[in-house]
Amino acid sequence: MAIPALFKNKLSLPVICAPMFLVSTPTLVISACKNGIVGSFPTFNARTQDVLDSWITEISTELETFAKLNPDKPTAPFAVNLVVHPSNTRLHNDRAVVKKHQVLFVITSQGNPAEVVEEVHQWGGIVFHDVIRAEHAKKAIEAGVDGIIIVTAGAGGHAGEINPFALVREIREFWDGPLALAGAINDGYGVRAAEILGADFSYMGTRFIATEEAEVEADYKSMLVTSEIKDLVYTDTFTGVKCNFLKPSIARAGVDLKSYQAKTLVDLDLGESNAWKDFWSAGHGVSGIKDVLPMTELVQQLKNQYQEAVHKPAFSNNGS
């Protein structure tokens, strides 16, 4: 499976720090890229096109300078995430900013990426599209995407419901291009396992929230450290799309989860709480998060775990 030239000699691990709503900022993106991990952010996080323009300028300038001063270190490219669903009223203007900067790596979500693919290819960029089902992957491939991101069961945020073992193998039956896997990957062992399964990249989000560079509330990070899988709820009650939320964050916002799960979105009243802002997301990998680390230390930990997994002896039935 060929890896795009954009990533050649620029990664310390085959990992993409996923674009996370209200979490991914230039600080997190830059720190990931400086450590050889692809950083990304959704355009929605930049509240206006002017802010989006300044963010891309800041990230590009900082990474270009770092790469020149550190030629012996892999400096990963960054990605901008565009939601291409028709309901996204700011898509046209966001695309104009992405075009202005000729961003080389674009991640598309929730819709038909064909127009974005055609546009990004004009300046030599690549487009990965995220999917939760094989039929979605086929449509994205028909649209000309360069890579597929599979969001499977256990992923943070708006996750799919299909087991990664099944979905990766199903998509590999008809797609031999770049493939990224999302779903409960939070350490180097998971990164290696994803490769063995057939993925070229691991698409990790939750673990990177528990870093010093993630600009979120300290309580959010603490909650990730203390939570287990049992502390998650997978529901469409609050956003209309099934999403993994941390139960303690819902309780923290003063909402009785049990009573609201029985209601519909039509009559849902959260009072002063905002599901997008006050209810915190996490994936099944949360149970493996034991501390909040600087990005550099976390990436080194991931690398050590990955190397250990690579060199672990294969199964032997002779008792050795």
pLDDT at residue number 275: 56
Residues 6+ apart with CB under 8 A from 319: none
Beta pairing class for 243-246 and 232-235: antiparallel
Q: What pLDDT score does 195 carry? A: 96
Alpha carbons within 13 A on the beta-carbon side of 49: 13
- DSSP assignments along 14-55, one per residue: SEEE---TTT--HHHHHHHHHTTSBEEEEGGGSSSHHHHHHH
Dihedral angle, C-alpha 280, 282, 286, 292, nearest 10 °: -60
| DSSP SS3 for 137 | helix
Contact 76, 36 (CB under 8 A): yes
Q: Does the domain formed by 7-215+293-311 have CATH 3.90.1150.10?
A: no
CA distance 199 to 201: 6
The pLDDT, as a whole number, for residue 16 is 98
Q: What is the pLDDT of residue 143?
A: 97
The DSSP string of 141-158 is HHTT-SEEEEE-TT-SBS
- pLDDT score, position 276: 58
Report which of residues 96 and 317 the model is more confident about: 96
Mean pLDDT of 293-315: 94
* Segments making up each domain of the chain, as ranges: 7-215+293-311, 228-278
For residues 81-108, give the mean pLDDT.
96
Percent of the chain with pLDDT over 90: 84
Is the distance from CB of 296 to CB of 35 less than 8 angstroms?
yes
Amino acid at 158: H
pLDDT digits (tens, 9 = 90+) for 182-230: 999 999 999 999 999 999 999 999 999 999 999 999 999 999 999 999 9
Calpha distance 4→284 (Å, rounded): 29
Spatial neighbors of 57 by CB under 8 A, at least 6 apart, are 101
pLDDT bin (cut points 50, 70, 90) of residue 261 is: low
pLDDT-based confidence at residue 274 (cuts at 50, 70, 90):
low
pLDDT band at 267 (very low <50, low <70, confident <90, very high): very low
Please give the Cα distance from 313 to 320 (Å, whole number).
10
Average pLDDT, integer, range 36-50: 97
pLDDT of residue 158: 87
Handedness of CA 163, 164, 166, 171 (dihedral sign): positive
Percent of the chain with pLDDT over 70: 92
Q: What is the mean pLDDT of the chain?
A: 92
Better-predicted residue by pLDDT, 298 or 275: 298
Whether residue 265 has pLDDT greater than 50: no
Whole-angstrom CA distances from 194 to 141, 164, 173 are: 21, 9, 16
- pLDDT reported for residue 68: 97
Predicted confidence at residue 268, as pLDDT, reads: 47
Number of residues assigned to the chain: 320
Is the CB of residue 244 less than 8 Å from the CB of residue 283? yes
Distance separating alpha carbons of residues 304 and 199, to the nearest angstrom = 20
Question: Mean pLDDT across the stretch 122-150?
Answer: 98
Structure confidence at residue 266 (pLDDT): 41
Q: At 278, is the pLDDT very low, low, confident or very high (cuts 50, 70, 90)? A: confident
Contacts of 170 (CB under 8 A, 6+ apart): 134
| pLDDT for 240 | 79
DSSP 178-214: -EEEESS--SHHHHHHHHHHT-SEEEE-HHHHSBTT-
